[in-house]
Amino acid sequence: MKEPLWEPPLAGTEAQHLSGMLDRLRATFRYKADGLGIEQLRFRLASSALSLGGLLQHLAAVEDEKFIWLIARRKPETLLALTADGTDQFQVVGEDPAAVYRIYDRAVAASREIQLELLEPGALEKPSALDFGGEHPSIRRLVCDVIEEYGRHAGHADLLREALDGRVGEDPPWDYLPPWYPRS
């Protein structure tokens, strides 16, 4: 059986592995949050304020902050839109579940365009726009931070989705293609 398009390479460069790891985590997270209505996207466990819809919005903001702002050095539109009125980015507003998915899918698609540029030799070593008193972490550090963020929230999504409707599993089915993944 052919491996899924979002699976990391069996052998490749560091940049290819990091990119593949991130795409697999994105696909896993998106699969865990896929196909839900607005009330399901707002569902929370009694012990937590997290919801799948809130995590979709939060990860859209993370994608925008890290890739658009701190790597590509452009205005982070999604991050600003989700936080403009002081609303917690984890709070799902509105009644249209498609709008929640669209926010996330657009942010990931924009990040992936930048991510493809990071496959070029030396791209990960470049300094990011993040500034710690004149020191700038490398782009590699930011990509690893996003991978870490997805690892944490994919686990949250596992628990939420299982409690919601019983969907379980480590990875999505091999034929699953998230909406942000290019179709051939």
pLDDT at 157: 96
- Supply the pTM of this predicted model: 0.94
Q: Above 70 in pLDDT, residue 36?
A: yes
Can you give the chain as a three-state secondary structure string?
CCCCCCCCCCCCCHHHHHHHHHHHHHHHHHHHHCCCCHHHHHCCCCCCCCCHHHHHHHHHHHHHHHHHHHHCCCCCHHHHHHHCCCCCCCCCCCCCHHHHHHHHHHHHHHHHHHHHHCCCCCHHHCECCCCECCECCEHHHHHHHHHHHHHHHHHHHHHHHHHHHCCCCCCCCCCCCCCCCCCC
Percent of the chain with pLDDT over 90: 75
pLDDT 10s digits, 45-71:
999 999 999 999 999 999 999 999 999
pLDDT at 1: 52
- Region 25-33: mean pLDDT is 96
More confident residue, 116 or 89: 116
More confident residue, 9 or 99: 99
More confident residue, 85 or 179: 179
> Whole-number mean pLDDT of the chain?
92
pLDDT class of 94 with cuts at 50, 70, 90 = confident
pLDDT at 31: 96
pLDDT at 154: 95
pLDDT class of 184 with cuts at 50, 70, 90 = low
* Dihedral sign from CA coordinates of 152, 25, 176, 34: positive
pLDDT 10s digits, 139-157:
999 999 999 999 999 999 9
